[in-house]
Every structure is written in structure tokens, then in C-alpha cells.
Amino acid sequence: MIKVHTLPAFTDNYLWLFHSEGSSDAYVVDPGDGGLVLEALEKLSLNLAGILITHHHADHTGGIAQLLDFKAVPVYGPDSANIPLVSHPFKHGETLKLSAELTFEVLEVPGHTLDHIAWFCPAHGSQQPLLFCGDTLFAGGCGRLFEGSAAQMHHSLSLLAELPENTAIHCAHEYTLANLAFAQAVEPNNRSLKQRVIDAQALRDKGLPTVPSTMALELETNPFMRCHTESVKNSLEIKLGRAINTADELLGAVRTWKDSF
């Protein structure tokens, strides 16, 4: 089984530290804060074995140098000039095998940035599949289009939507309540969404993270994953006062609405 530790960072980031149960070799995903990772390694009696990166933004890469000063380990990430400390670059369709159960498929998911990738670990025995998706897919939302296009983000989210519905979605920010408030504006009659708001609020009231979520939950409640539905399409056409003819245009319209929500 894979053990994943949630490391809250900055105001609303999550860093992910994972290892096989029974092994002290641990890997960190998107270490924006190296000191926080070192503290967690010491507290949990784990050894840093490697670093996985999804994209180049500083809150995901800012701690790499500090961790490498502590221990020279492989840095796995996108093949991008924006992340010079990546020692092992990966492209779409390639596989990173860390151990028998820690095997990741690389998915290129541009949109938020052009160099964004996601790391997908398929099910292994009783272990559910898991995804480290950075800022492409959020619980109830998706990342802003800082570098890529709506068409790219739509393609990326459609690619992720093909993953198993029980995939555990490990995104990089605690944006869930704000995302769900927007989702309710888009789909006010979505019953699954109403229940998700209640569940997410209960977790936050206890100081607990709302992530990981699951792909099934995102497909039921995340408007950016539901651009193919009549409910989302009708809502956007009413807001804009015109017809929307393509899925790419619809994704862009939802993203623009969210940016000013």
C-alpha cells in the first residue's frame, strides 16, 4: 500500500509526501517549501529518495534547491527549460518506475502552464489509483489559464476524465469551498453538488483538508469536468445570451466566468 502524507504550506498549498508502507524511502511532489519537507521527513523518520514536479511555478519548485543541498536525489519533472533542476525529464506516455507498486504514468496536461504534467499511479492490488495533478485539476475547479489556451485545458481535463472513477485526486491547493460556490452558480440544481458543499464545509470546520477527492466526485460536481452536459451548457448560454457551439469554447466561457466570480 502507498502512504500519502498531506503537508499544508503557505496559505493554501498542499505538498504531497508519499512512500510504500514498510519502506522509509519517500518522495515529495511539488516542494514549494523545502524546510517544511525536511521537518516532515524527520518527524516521520523517512529518507528523501526523490522529487516529482508538475510545473514550473515557484510555489511548486521553490524548495528543490534546499532539498538537493540536503541530499542529492533525482528530480523527476517535465522536459522544460523553466525547471533547470529537473534531472530526469519526462514526456507524455513515459513511465517512472520507483518500485513495483510505485509506478507512474506521465500525462502532459497543458493549460495552466505549457509545461504542466500529471503523475498517475494505476491501481496495484487493493491500492486505489492515485493522481498528482498540480494545478490542472482542482477539487471542484481547474487552474487558471496563465500560459495555455481553453482548448488545451479542455483536452487536458478530458484526458484526466478517462482515468478510473476511483482515482484519488491529489491537487495542490485548498480552493474547494470557493470552487464549489462557483459550481453552484453554474449548476444550482445539482444535488450531488449540494451534498458536496455540506461535506466539504464540515471538513474545513474541523481544520481538515478537502482533498484528495475522487474522479467520480469531480465528474458529478466540477463544472470544468461537465462541459459536455446540457446543464452546464444551458447555464452558460443563459449567462452569455448566445449559443455556444464547441466544447473548447464552453470550457473557456466557464473559466472566464470563474475568473471574475
DSSP per residue, 80-96: -TT-TT-SEEE-TT-EE
State how far the alpha carbon of 164 is from the alpha carbons of 12, 117, 224, in Å. Answer: 27, 18, 18
Report pLDDT for 125.
86
State how far the alpha carbon of 44 is from the alpha carbons of 5, 39, 48, 112, in Å. Answer: 10, 9, 11, 33
Q: Could you give the domains of the chain?
A: 1-90 (3.60.15.10), 104-261 (3.60.15.10)
144-194: per-residue pLDDT in tens?
A: 999 999 999 999 999 999 999 999 999 999 999 999 999 999 999 999 999
48-82: per-residue pLDDT in tens?
A: 999 999 999 999 999 999 999 999 999 999 999 99
Confidence of residue 100 (pLDDT cuts 50, 70, 90): confident
233-254: per-residue pLDDT in tens?
A: 999 999 999 999 899 999 999 9
- Helices (H), ranges, 21-165: 34-44, 58-61, 64-70, 150-161
* CA pair distance 190, 192, nearest whole angstrom: 6
Helix, strand or coil for residue 126?
coil
What mean pLDDT is reported for the chain?
Answer: 97
Q: Taking a C-beta distance cutoff of 8 angstroms, is the pair 154, 248 a contact?
A: yes
Note the pTM of the prediction, 2 decimals: 0.97
The catalytic site residues sit at 55, 57, 59-60, 112, 135, 173
* CA pair distance 25, 41, nearest whole angstrom: 10
* CA pair distance 206, 224, nearest whole angstrom: 27
* CA pair distance 164, 7, nearest whole angstrom: 25
